[in-house]
Structure 1
Amino acid sequence: MRLADYSLHAYALPYARPVVWSDIVEEAAPFVLLRLTAESGETGVAEVSVKPTWGGVTARSLITTIEEIFIPLLRTLDMSDPHATRRALDRIPENLAAKCLVDNACWDLKAAQMQRPLWQTWQGSRRVELSWAVTRQTPQVMAAEAADMRERYGFRTLKVKGGQGVATDIEGIHAIRKAVGEDVALYVDCNGAYQLDNALDYARAVADAGARVIEDPCPFSPDPAFAALCADSPIPVLVDFYAWSLRDARLFLAQGAQALSAKPGRFGLSDCRLMQDAADAEGRGVVAGLMGESALGTFAALQFAAALRQPMLPAELTWYLAMTEQVTSELPVIENGCVTLPDTSSVASMVDWDAVKRFAL
C-alpha cells in the first residue's frame, strides 16, 4: 500500500466556556488533521491536539515537520503494516506528535483497506464505558458541572482535576461527591502540581475524601522514590505525563506503577497497543487517556479503548462534549455512561470537509 497523496489541515473548535488546564487557558481547541491517500484509492485520516505545553508543537511547526521529514519517508514505504511503518518512523529521533499523527492515519488507512473498523480487527467490545473530566474551577462550579454531566450522560466515573491547593482540592471532591451521590467513582489528576515530598500525604488525603486512584500527584521519574510512593500510597498511582514513550512506560512498570495512561492522541495506536501488552504482562492496569480530542480523534481513540482487555478505569474519551462544533458528520452517542461503536470502517469516511474549511486556522 503506497502513498499517492496527502493533505494537512489546521483548525480550532470553540469551547462552550473557557477551559482552565494546568498550564494554559483555552477558548477553542486547536488541531492538525492529516489525510493520507493510497495508490489503491483508500483514504485514512488522523488528528492531534496542538498545544505547545502538551506536545512541544504548534500547528505550523507540526505541519512543516511532517512535510519535510515524514512524507518523504512515507513515500519510500509499503504502509500495509502500520507497526512496520511506525518502526520506520522511529528511526527519526524525537518528533512524537508527528509520529503519532502519521501512525494513527496509517491505521485508519489500514481499516479502510480491510473494510472493517479496528475495534473489530482487534476483537474489541462494541460498547465502551466512559468517564468525564471535571476541569479546574471553584468547588461549587465543579460540583454543578459533575451533577449536570452525570444527569445528561449517565457517567459512573468522574475524573477530578486537582492542583488548586490541597484544601481546595479536598473541598472540590467533597462537593462533587455530595452533588453526584455515592454510586459515582471519583479519581484525581493533579498534573504534577505538588512536590514528591508531599505526594504521599496528598494521596492519603484524597483517598480519605473518597478518591479511588491518583494520577500524577507530582513530577516523578521511574526511580526508587517513585517505587516507594506506589508501595505506600493507599490508592493506585496512575502514570500519565511523565511517561513520554513506550520505553518510559516499561521503566515505570518496572518500578511498580499500578497503571498507565495510554493515549492514542499522544503516543499513536501502535505504541498504545504495545503499552497495553507490557502492562498486561506485569498484571497492571491501562486507561485510555484524554488528549483533548474532538469527535474525530475520539472515534480513533475509541478503537483502542474497545480492545483493552481489563481497563483499570473507563475511557476518558469524552472531551469533545466540551466543544460546540465538530468536523465529523456524526458524533459518538453516549447513553448510561457508555458509547456503542459504529461499524464504519474508517474515520476518514466521517469527516465533514466543509467544517474543516470553516474552522480552519
Structure 2
Amino acid sequence: MKITSVEAIPLAIPFRRPFAFASGTAHAADHVLVRITTDDGLVGHGEAPPRPYTYGETAYSIVAAVHELFAPLLVGADPFARERLRAEMGRTVANNTARGAIDVALWDLIGQACGQPVHVLLGHAADEVAVAHMIGLGTPAAMVADAVEMRDEYGVEAFKVKVGRDLAQDMAVVRALRQELGDAVELYADANRGWDADTAIVAARRLADFHVTMLEEPNPADDVLGRRRIVRASPIPVVGDESTITLGGVARSLLDGDAEAISVKVARTGFTESAKIVGLCEGLGVATVVGNQIDGMLGTVASTALACGLRSLARHPVEVTNFLVMTDDVLTEPPVIAEGRAAARQGPGLGVAIDPDKLAHYRADR
C-alpha cells in the first residue's frame, strides 16, 4: 500500500458564540481537513485547528506546509512507516498541528487497512471515557449557565474553567461555579499564560480553597524562574500545556520543575508522539490528561480514540465537548456525549466519513 495523494482543505465553519481565553478569542472554526489517499483506495483524515496566538500557525500556513513541505515526503511512501515519516517531517521545525493532522490521518489509514479501530491499535484501555467540558471566558452568569447546560443536558461532571484575567473576576467565576455545581463536580483551571508569577501564586492558593484540582499554564512559559516559583508554592498541581508541545519539551519541563502534570493534545502531537509523551510521563509517575484545542468533530473523535487507547489517559475526564460550540461540521455522524461519557468509534480506523456536500459548502478555498 502506497500513498498517492495528500490534500489540505481549509474550512470555515461559524461558532454559535465566540470562545474566549486569556491568550485569544476564536470566532469560527477555520480548521484544515487533511486527507491522505492510498493506491488501495483507502482515505485517511485528520483535523488541524490553527491557533496563531499559541503556535503561530494559520489555516493557510498549514495548507502551505502540508502541500509544499510534507506531501512530497509522503506521496509514494508506505503509511505504516510512521516512525520514518515522523523523522523526515521532524526536520521541519514547528508546524505542529500540520504534522499532528497528518499523523492522525496515517493512523486512520492503518486502522482501515487492518480492519481495527485506532483505539484498539493504541492499546484498547477502554471503550468509553468520562468527559470534561472547557468553559470559555465570560461573565460569571454566562460561565455558570454554560456549565449547567452541559451538566443537565449531557451529564458532564468535570469542567476546565478558563481564567487568567483580573484575579477578582476569575475568583468570582470559580466561586459561582462551585456554589452552583456543588462539591461533587470536578473543577480545574486554565490561565493560558495570562497571569504573572506573583498573581498566579496567590491565585493557586485561592483556587485550592474552592477545591480546584489543577492549574494549567498559569504564566508565560518563557518566564522560567517564575514558573518554577509557582510550582513550588502552589498547593495544587501545575499542568503544562502550551509550554510542553513536544516530547523533548515535556521532558525538559518535568525535569526542570516547570510542571507536575501534562495536557496532551492530538491536534498538535498526533497519535504517535502523544503516545510517546504519555509513556514518558507514566514512567516518571506524572499524570496526563487529554486537552482540547476547540477541536471540531473529527478532532473530537481522534481525542476520544487516544484516551480510550491508553490507560493513563482513560483514568481522567477527557476534554471532548467543545465541538458543540460549532454550528455544523463536515462529518456524516457527529460524536455523542451522553451521561457524561464519550465512546470510541468501533469502525476501522477513526470510523468517520466526510459529507461531500458539507465539505463543498464549508471549504474556504473555493
Same fold (TM over 0.5): yes
- CA 1:98 to 1:139, structure 2 compared with 1: closer, same or farther past 3 Å? same
Contact 2:3 2:39 in 1 (8 A): yes
TM-score by length of 1: 0.95
Query: Aligned partners of 1:286 and 1:189: how far apart in 2?
Result: 15
Aligned: 1:92 with 2:92: yes
Contact 1:2 1:79 in 2 (8 A): yes
Residue aligning to 1:328: 331
Contact 1:222 1:251 in 2 (8 A): no
Equivalent positions of 1:172-187 (< 5 A) are 172-187=173-188
Equivalent positions of 1:26-41 (< 5 A) are 26-41=26-41
Output one character per residue of 1:148-176: Cα deviation in whole Å (capped at 9) or x when no partner.
Answer: 11111111111100022111111101111
Residue aligning to 1:277: 279
TM-score by length of 2: 0.93
Contact 1:170 1:209 in 2 (8 A): no
- Greater shift, 74-83 or 232-241, is seen at 74-83
Output one character per residue of 1:120-147: Cα deviation in whole Å (capped at 9) or x when no partner.
Answer: 1222310111100111001111112111
Query: Aligned partners of 1:116 and 1:98: how far apart in 2?
Result: 25
Output one character per residue of 1:74-115: Cα deviation in whole Å (capped at 9) or x when no partner.
Answer: 125322132332122112333222211211111111111111
Alpha-carbon distance, 1:231 to partner:
3.2
Letter of the structure 1 residue corresponding to residue 75 of structure 2? R
Residue aligning to 1:121: 121
Letter of the structure 1 residue corresponding to residue 279 of structure 2? D
Match of 1:7, SS? strand
Letter of the structure 2 residue corresponding to residue 153 of structure 1? Y
Query: Aligned partners of 1:26 and 1:229: how far apart in 2?
Result: 28
Residue aligning to 1:289: 291
- Greater shift, 292-301 or 75-84, is seen at 75-84
Letter of the structure 2 residue corresponding to residue 314 of structure 1? P
Query: Aligned partners of 1:181 and 1:196: how far apart in 2?
Result: 29
Output one character per residue of 1:196-248: Cα deviation in whole Å (capped at 9) or x when no partner.
Answer: 23322211011112211111111135956544432331111111111131111
Contact 1:82 1:110 in 2 (8 A): no
Residue aligning to 1:16: 16
Equivalent positions of 1:129-168 (< 5 A) are 129-168=130-169
Equivalent positions of 1:219-234 (< 5 A) are 219-221=220-222, 225-234=226-235
- CA 1:202 to 1:134, structure 2 compared with 1: closer, same or farther past 3 Å? same
Contact 1:20 1:136 in 2 (8 A): yes
Letter of the structure 2 residue corresponding to residue 333 of structure 1? V
Letter of the structure 2 residue corresponding to residue 265 of structure 1? A
Equivalent residue for 1:264, pick from 263, 266, 285: 266
Residue aligning to 2:304: 302
Residue aligning to 1:247: 248
Equivalent residue for 2:318, pick from 292, 315, 320: 315
Letter of the structure 1 residue corresponding to residue 9 of structure 2? H
Output one character per residue of 1:37-73: Cα deviation in whole Å (capped at 9) or x when no partner.
Answer: 1112211010111232233222222212211111111
- Greater shift, 150-159 or 248-257, is seen at 248-257
Residue aligning to 2:4: 4
Query: Aligned partners of 2:227 and 2:179: how far apart in 1?
Result: 33
Aligned: 1:203 with 2:204: yes
Query: Aligned partners of 1:220 and 1:53: how far apart in 2?
Result: 13
Match of 1:52, SS? coil
Alpha-carbon distance, 1:347 to partner:
3.4
Equivalent residue for 2:346, pick from 343, 347, 356: 343
Query: Aligned partners of 2:235 and 2:138: how far apart in 1?
Result: 26
Alpha-carbon distance, 1:190 to partner:
0.5
Contact 1:85 1:103 in 2 (8 A): no
Query: Aligned partners of 1:162 and 1:281: how far apart in 2?
Result: 31
Alpha-carbon distance, 1:187 to partner:
0.6
Query: Aligned partners of 2:118 and 2:285: how far apart in 1?
Result: 24
The percentage of aligned residue pairs carrying the same residue is: 30
Q: Which runs of 5+ in 1 are unaligned?
A: none
Match of 1:178, SS? helix
Query: Aligned partners of 1:87 and 1:36: how far apart in 2?
Result: 18
Residue aligning to 1:46: 46
- CA 1:220 to 1:59, structure 2 compared with 1: closer, same or farther past 3 Å? closer
Query: Aligned partners of 1:227 and 1:60: how far apart in 2?
Result: 36
Residue aligning to 2:64: 64
Contact 2:278 2:312 in 1 (8 A): no
Match of 1:148, SS? helix
Contact 2:4 2:38 in 1 (8 A): yes
Alpha-carbon distance, 1:283 to partner:
0.4
Alpha-carbon distance, 1:318 to partner:
1.3
Contact 2:333 2:352 in 1 (8 A): no
Contact 1:222 1:252 in 2 (8 A): no
Q: Which runs of 5+ in 2 are unaligned?
A: none
Query: Aligned partners of 1:129 and 1:91: how far apart in 2?
Result: 37
Letter of the structure 2 residue corresponding to residue 288 of structure 1? V
Output one character per residue of 1:268-306: Cα deviation in whole Å (capped at 9) or x when no partner.
Answer: 211111100110010001011111111111111211111
